[in-house]
Amino acid sequence: MKKVIWVFGESATGKSTLINAILNNENDIRTSLELDRERIDVIKNTISLNLNAYDDENHESYRKKIIEEKIKEFLQSDNTVLLIKGQTNDMDDRYGNTLKQFALDYPNLDKEIYLLEVSDLDFHYQRFINKDWFKKDKTRYEKIFPKEWLPSAILNHREIVYSFKKYGFSILNIDSTNGFVVKKENDLYEKKNY
């Protein structure tokens, strides 16, 4: 049976790193994620800089079109799992809600979300401020994204992701603080930990 897995998480949680680890089966990660017998493909465009999320309607429309085309190609291929690096804008009605549209277009397709979170807030914030885009305009981004912003951003992102259960997605929580550790839903980090 074919399955599409979307990888979500706030910035600097390791979405691209996880996808590449799965593709290269680093540390036998496919076994721990029960993907060891699967033929895996990825929408490479979603992990490249030219198709990252921007708050720009034209760019988001292009991203959505590429994702839709690649999903159709996957369904005609011999591969059994397709990985997509998700962006918050993929879940936003202002930009066509690519994730919701995908679920409505393919109601019987096996759909899963890997939700990445970093359990150590200080470590997560250090990763965040070391992103290339952040360092290019550090003074500006420090004002927009102070450390105090991160806990509520993480919880808001989680809430949005979990709202997609109603569209048939199963959700796997992964702690990406040090490697990738699968968590149970009741092990998720609460606001008080931040």
Number of other CB atoms surrounding residue 28 within 10 Å = 9
In Å, how far are 8, 26, 63, 120, 142 from 89, measured between CA atoms? 11, 29, 10, 25, 22
**pLDDT for residue 141:** 93
Q: Could you tell me if 124 and 150 are in contact, meaning their C-beta atoms sit under 8 angstroms apart? A: yes
pTM for this predicted structure: 0.91
DSSP label at residue 190: P
Mean pLDDT across the chain, nearest whole number? 90
Q: Is 126 helix (H, G, I), strand (E, B) or coil?
A: helix
Q: Where are the domains of the chain?
A: 3-182
Q: Which two tokens stand for residue 103?
A: 């679920």
| 61 φ, ψ (degrees, to nearest 5) | -65, -40
3-182 is a CATH 3.40.50.300 domain: yes
pLDDT tens-digit readout, 133-182? 899 999 999 999 999 999 999 999 999 999 999 999 999 999 999 999 99
